[in-house]
Structure 1
């Protein structure tokens, strides 16, 4: 990004924006399926709605994107080609007697007029093109990787060279977004490896993840729960971490969906649900008594929702099944063997912490659960079900009870987390418990 400019995320964007946000809207307005074309008045109406979004803030990016293309040395042919591709051929200004530069100037003027509603003296600032040589080279390399597939799908033989010209002669940021829009408009499939590189480029440009991910046809690998592909918590421990006092039986299904549906950008669709389902099945099929499972849920959730433990897990499994049938119907849940060799080290850490928790209670002011009972339930998960799941739930209990940690103990937890293959931020969720001298 240009120096001193906030990222698009910092500016409040959660999806596509600017000229590519406009083409996205043009590709999916409410119109009869039998009449996919957009005429000139309809295109202007969509542009006006786009400029009016976010109280006019969207007009800033829309106008700047148009000027980025107009201010560069790009030919009419290049501009026409990349516009057609990004808009999925839904709207072609040439079909309405308008050349592409006139269309872009009208977009810029429309955006300026919208901004002058708030500030009458508003004058469009000079554009700030992204011209970083390394970044331009990376984007061009990605375009060339898919040049043949993209040109064939869009029936535009000069599309890839045109996109390269936008990247190198006008703006790498807009060029990359136009490339992504063309891939989405014509359903060009990309490999998971290339998608990951796209995410990296988007992060450098300050995009919200949706700019890259939403609508892109990715060749996802099958779900593999041994690869979490997330830096954060997951599964039942994540669900417990999301718990709050406003949970109720009426909203329980919705709360579970929030975790089951929340795949990370790098995860195959359905991975979050598969990880949550695996944890639920481990406990459902375990020899633990119902009372222990109920105690466990109260302990790790902070008593957000008092419900029979196995009934809760059955509901979790049901919601996860819904999600998987929707996005990964070929997936068959298989619970991998527990890593029992890790049980003793985890149990030692839990038992070492027991004295510091002895006088505490979960929800001390409302149906308190003694910490000793919570610790016993977690120990049983570690010793009789799965040390990985037990360790994650133990970390949750520490947070619920606000148990102080030494730096040395926390570092041991970090090492254990690395051994279980956790992402960098899972164990760090308890770092606020560290007591410094």
Structure 2
């Protein structure tokens, strides 16, 4: 049965198919019998109003229809369930158990939804199988050590990686990768940051929900480094302003900052979001900017989402509250972190000023924020220019992108490309400029 690829993240919040069943089986207090395995399989099939049955069926048939020896399937499955369920003990063996699953959830295709506009992932099966096999080999040595130390059923340590690779090559690359992830998690195998990034790239290419990879994975995170730009979107103070844009009255301002400080990108070392926000806040606190200038920055970049002027809140006191929340977050997730000032990108100051001046005709007459209490575009531009010149060109350019997002002027393709190029020079994530400005580009 051919796998009909979907943007799985639009159907599922986490794992699916046989790997989701392996997760349920591995979490049981006692080793389940065949009847309980079928009951748990019915839970997997029922996910997303029954959509889960399709992926479960495809996974089962990928194994049933393959030439894989039963022993290979058994080894991969025992490892994925941490020895909790051995299908070879089923009355008709490994394939008998799989056939019972296939009978319970027969092959069928997902009916197309006329309103389903998401583009299906396109990935060459052979390329996927090679990439998955490479990741299995990359984990083979630490996996063998973990199996030797923590196995419950006496699996030959080297056989686990060999069986997983066989499943990926001769069964299905998608299933092979999901079973690899289950094995890495149940044996707590450490995964380096470079390999983690490759796994997340495969996750994106396959349209999986992100937690399928990162939830429960033992990633060897590098130390927090505010010079790194691992996040794909906005970050720091400019990123925080978006959290206050529009209606957010369900939270206090402090709670809103706490949420933003905890919103690490899946590619970031935990605590990075707080460290980057802390770095921006401290630069402005320690800067020579007047309080009025910082107030204008905050009000314009947040679209007057939190009116510190109306509340009589001094701009630096607001930044100190942000600083306090970030420090609180870092004490919890990175207690050994010590903030170190990263050198300002003075080499890009002139480039940021050119971008600001090119944007001036687009923003000078704009009214940013609600029309009854808007911030004049000229005032916002002046405040951003002071940041670029006297504080940090990186932060200044990010705040300029926020102003453009809020004012929403038309951009030419040339202007958009220029902003993208400068974003790359600053090391911004691939979605940062795109999400801010792509919708503003005037059709040709």
TM-score range, shorter chain: 0.7 to 0.9
Instruction: Quickly say closer, same or farther: Cα 1:84–1:407, change in 2 above 3 A.
Output: closer
Cross-structure match for 2:388: 382
Alignment partner for residue 393 of structure 1, among 378, 390, 399? 399
Cross-structure match for 1:77: 71
Whole-angstrom distance in 2 between the partners of 1:294 and 1:325? 28
Secondary structure of the residue aligned to 2:397 is helix
Cross-structure match for 1:248: 249
Aligned residues: 418
Map 1:192-207 to 2 at 5 A. 192-207=193-208
Gaps of 5+ in 1: 30-34, 119-129
Alignment partner for residue 312 of structure 1, among 295, 318, 322? 318
Please state how far the C-alpha of 1:97 moved relative to its aligned partner: 5.8
Whole-angstrom distance in 2 between the partners of 1:48 and 1:272? 39
Map 1:29-178 to 2 at 5 A. 35-94=29-88, 99-112=93-106, 132-154=125-147, 155=151, 156-157=155-156, 158-178=159-179
Instruction: Quickly say closer, same or farther: Cα 1:172–1:436, change in 2 above 3 A.
Output: closer
TM-score, normalization by structure 2 = 0.83
Cross-structure match for 2:22: 23
Please state how far the C-alpha of 1:222 moved relative to its aligned partner: 1.3
Whole-angstrom distance in 2 between the partners of 1:293 and 1:327? 29
Deviations 1:88-121 (A, max 9, x none): 12333456767333332333333349x99x9xxx
Map 1:348-359 to 2 at 5 A. 348-351=354-357, 353-354=359-360, 356-359=362-365
- Does 2:376 match 1:370? yes
Instruction: Quickly say closer, same or farther: Cα 1:91–1:327, change in 2 above 3 A.
Output: farther
Indicate conservation of the 8 Å contact 1:131/1:171, yes or no. Answer: no
Cross-structure match for 2:275: 274
Indicate conservation of the 8 Å contact 2:9/2:210, yes or no. Answer: no
Cross-structure match for 2:120: none
Deviations 1:155-201 (A, max 9, x none): 42221222122122221221121111111110111222222222333
Whole-angstrom distance in 2 between the partners of 1:358 and 1:305? 23
Indicate conservation of the 8 Å contact 1:37/1:91, yes or no. Answer: yes
Indicate conservation of the 8 Å contact 1:189/1:217, yes or no. Answer: yes
Whole-angstrom distance in 2 between the partners of 1:315 and 1:36? 49
Report the more deviating stretch, 172-181 or 235-244.
Answer: 235-244
Map 1:408-423 to 2 at 5 A. 408-423=414-429
Please state how far the C-alpha of 1:54 moved relative to its aligned partner: 0.9
- Does 2:440 match 1:430? no
- Does 2:325 match 1:326? no
Please state how far the C-alpha of 1:258 moved relative to its aligned partner: 4.2
TM-score, normalization by structure 1 = 0.84
Indicate conservation of the 8 Å contact 2:364/2:381, yes or no. Answer: no
Please state how far the C-alpha of 1:387 moved relative to its aligned partner: 1.4
Whole-angstrom distance in 1 between the partners of 2:25 and 2:327? 35
Indicate conservation of the 8 Å contact 2:128/2:174, yes or no. Answer: no
Indicate conservation of the 8 Å contact 1:131/1:168, yes or no. Answer: no
Cross-structure match for 1:124: none
Cross-structure match for 1:32: none
List, as ranges, runs of 4+ consecutive aligned residues in structure 1 with deviation greater than 6 Å: none
